[in-house]
Amino acid sequence: MAEKKPVKICETILRDAHQSLIATRMPTDLMLPILERMDKVGYHSVECWGGATFDACLRFLKEDPWQRLRLIRDGLPNTKLQMLFRGQNILGYRHYADDVVEDFVEKSIANGIDIIRIFDCLNDLRNLKAAVDATIKIKNREGRGHAQIALSYTLGDAYTLDYWMNMAKQIEEMGADSICIKDMAGLLLPYKAYELVSAMKSATSLPIDLHSHYTSGVAGMTYLKAVEAGCDIIDTAMSPLSMGTSQPATEVMVETFKGTDYDTGLDQNILAQIADYFAPYREECLKSGLLNPKVMGVNIKTLLYQVPGGMLSNMVSQLKEQNAEDRYNDVLNEIPKVRKDMGEPPLVTPSSQIVGTQAVFNVLMGERYKMATDQTKDLLRGKYGQTVKPMNPEVIEKVIPGEERITCRPADLIPNELAKIEADMKEYKQQDEDVLSYALFPQVATDFFKYRQAQQEKVDVTKADTTNNAYPA
Ligand code: CO
């Protein structure tokens, strides 16, 4: 090792760690007192927004996610803030028009985000373009904003080293600032990571960030080999909310590289103070049941079946509902077949649910594709975008016979909609950002707006009739 190459750390405790372990329930009040300490660490970035945090704020915590972002921005003046952004879905569950995507990027950066990690469940780069272009535009205008494109990591015939290298080149051509390998299921093995990162490094000069989960027990080793292959940034979580379905522990990775050319330079004493702060919260979550010890262990099935853990547990509950738990192995065998029929997509939200549910249907109905979900139909129609391999023409003919399929970028068919959305919700609007909250989660945002209004009018919300969503005026 000739030159020093400190590994950079993206800290996830304010986003993915609590999303993965405690259903995204960490409230803003718990975050604020420790921000001053966290700002002294020298993290490459702190991931603190996007993903499920937005929905969880509005729905369960009755918090304004934009206010959370502004408070974290104030508390971390010297640290880059990072968010997760699901391409044309933004943080919601459908494709949005470009004007909504652009406005969301604009407001995210205006309220404090520096790095936007953008991904698509099919790795269809066309679904990332609007968000990436919007970020680049702001960067050119204001000198702030970093577009990171994340590739959903998966296994399968289509996903050769050539595939990943070719994707890396395309990402560089799109003008992105960095690339993330997003291993949401913890499938990436240490030596495979070495090969993958080496190959991608040979194809691009962009920094590479590795994001994995400890689900299958290998992520710490995977990070080590990835760093040896030249990986620039790793995503870790402070120990109290690390491992299990979360990320490897920050302190452990920092200590692993200490004294080597990859030394992060981070101060274990400051990290220890942060860990001490979060430790009682972990205990509290264990006691209340919010943190289930089940998610803390090693789920070896993930590696055996190459299927995300969450998808397996969904499948079990679907089979249980139908009193068909004895068909578990049949469904496990059916999953790779359905995935092939659908063009071998990565298995991440929402493609994981679509493939998993269809596999259950195919087994229980006794005839493949006798019944198909609306989501299966939309995927076959091309409404989610293009898959890496062609879909099975016989399945297309059986499920959506005679229908014309979409081959363009799906959002090209969605006219601008921001003005209409604003008109629909203007009675609740207190800030421009409210329009975007409503665009993503119309019902949940409306409930939140009503709650907020009741609070402002100093109404006793405990007397509110929440079942009927009526608050005393
Ligand atoms: Co993740």
The tens digit of pLDDT for each residue in 240-297 reads: 999 999 999 999 999 999 999 999 999 999 999 999 999 999 999 999 999 998 889 8
Residue 41 Cα to ligand 1 midpoint, Å, equals 22
User: Distance from the CA of 245 to the center of ligand 1, in angstroms?
Assistant: 9
Would you state the pLDDT for residue 3?
Answer: 83
pLDDT band per the 50, 70, 90 thresholds, residue 349: confident
How high is the pLDDT of residue 54?
97
Q: How far is the CA of 16 from the centre of ligand 1 (A)?
A: 6
pLDDT digits (tens, 9 = 90+) for 74-92: 999 999 999 999 999 999 8
Cα–Cα distance between 176 and 118 in angstroms, integer?
Answer: 10
Checking if the pLDDT of 121 tops 80, the result is yes
To the nearest whole number, what is the mean pLDDT of the chain? 94
Residues 6+ positions from 34 with CB-CB distance below 8 Å: 274, 277, 278
DSSP 465: B
Query: What is the Å distance from ligand 1's center to 126 Cα?
Result: 22
* Cβ burial, residue 325 (10 Å; 0-12/13-18/19+): exposed
Q: What is the pLDDT of residue 122?
A: 96
Q: Are 412 and 386 in contact (CB under 8 A)?
A: no
Output the CA–CA distances (angstroms, integers) from residue 233 to 207, 223, 286, in the order listed: 8, 9, 30
Q: Which residues contact 461 (CB under 8 A, 6 or more apart)?
A: 451, 454, 455, 471
Residues with a beta carbon under 5 angstroms from ion ligand 1 = 16
Residues in Cβ contact with 246 at an 8 Å cutoff, skipping those fewer than 6 apart: 12, 16, 17, 20, 21, 213, 214, 237
pTM for this predicted structure: 0.93
pLDDT of residue 472 exceeding 50: no
CB-based contact 18:241 (threshold 8 Å): yes
Q: Give me the mean pLDDT over the 380-398 stretch.
A: 97
Q: How far is the CA of 135 from the centre of ligand 1 (A)?
A: 21
Residue 465 has pLDDT above 70, yes or no: no
pLDDT of residue 129: 98
The DSSP output letter for 234 is E
Q: What angle do CA 245, 247, 250 make, to 5 degrees?
A: 145
Instruction: Give, as one character, the DSSP assignment of residue 246.
Output: S
Q: Contact at 8 Å (CB) between 156 and 124?
A: no
Q: How far is the CA of 328 from the centre of ligand 1 (A)?
A: 27
Q: Read off the pLDDT of residues 305-329 as tens digits, 9 standing for 90 and up.
A: 888 877 887 888 889 999 999 999 9
CA of 381 to the centre of ligand 1 (A): 28
Give the model's confidence band at 461: pLDDT under 50 very low, under 70 low, under 90 confident, else very high: low
Q: What share of the chain is helix, strand, coil (3-state, %, to 5)?
A: 55, 10, 35
If you measure from the C-alpha of residue 213 to the centroid of ligand 1, how many angstroms do you get, rounded to a whole number?
Answer: 6
CA 420 to centroid of ligand 1, rounded, Å = 33
Determine the distance separating the centroid of ligand 1 and the alpha carbon of 459, expressed in angstroms. 39
CA proximity to 79, closest of 29, 115, 118: 115
**Percent of the chain surpassing pLDDT 70:** 96
Ligand 1 geometric centre to CA of 364 (Å)? 32
* Residue 232 confidence (pLDDT): 98
211 CA to middle of ligand 1, Å? 7
pLDDT of residue 473: 44
How many Å from the N-terminal Cα to the C-terminal Cα in the chain? 69
* Measured distance CA(132)–CA(136) in Å, rounded: 6
How far is the centre of ligand 1, averaged over its atoms, from the C-alpha of 356 (Å)?
Answer: 20
Pairing assessment for the beta strands 233-236 and 208-212 based on DSSP bridges = parallel
Evaluate if residue 2 carries a pLDDT over 90.
no
